[in-house]
């Protein structure tokens, strides 16, 4: 969620637009929120050694651990886990 917040800020979203976006996503996200684990951080560290960025490595490691699909267009992430983008 931190990375998404930073993406919105870096793309010029106003504070009211950011707030509206989080409010719109709250019910969906809060039901499916997953905290990172120590093992995900270990895996993420190994993935950074292969070239993934900090946030991408954490997201990918957690998705691997949970056997989850990542909703992204990021080709680097799709090398390691299932991804989807509609």
Per-residue pLDDT of the chain (86 residues; tens, 9 = 90+): 777 888 889 899 999 998 999 888 887 776 666 678 899 999 999 999 999 999 899 999 999 998 989 988 899 999 999 999 86
Predicted model pTM:
0.65
Half-sphere exposure of 12 (CA within 13 A, CB side): 0
Other CB atoms within 10 A of residue 39 CB? 12
Q: Hey, where are the domains in the chain?
A: 1-33, 35-86
Q: DSSP letter for 11, please.
A: T
Q: What whole-number distance in Å separates Cα of residue 30 and Cα of residue 50?
A: 31
pLDDT score at 57: 94
Residues composing the chain? 86
What Å distances lie between residue 79 and 23, 25, 33, 48, 52, CA to CA? 32, 27, 23, 13, 10
């Amino acid at each position: 969620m931190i990375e998404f917040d930073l993406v919105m800020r870096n793309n010029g979203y106003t504070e009211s637009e950011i707030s509206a976006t989080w409010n719109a996503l709250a019910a969906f996200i809060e039901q499916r929120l997953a905290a990172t684990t120590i093992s995900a951080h270990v895996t993420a560290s190994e993935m950074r050694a292969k070239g993934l960025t900090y946030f991408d490595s954490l997201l990918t490691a957690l998705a691997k651990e949970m056997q989850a699909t990542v909703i992204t267009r990021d080709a680097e992430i799709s090398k390691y886990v299932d991804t989807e983008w509609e």
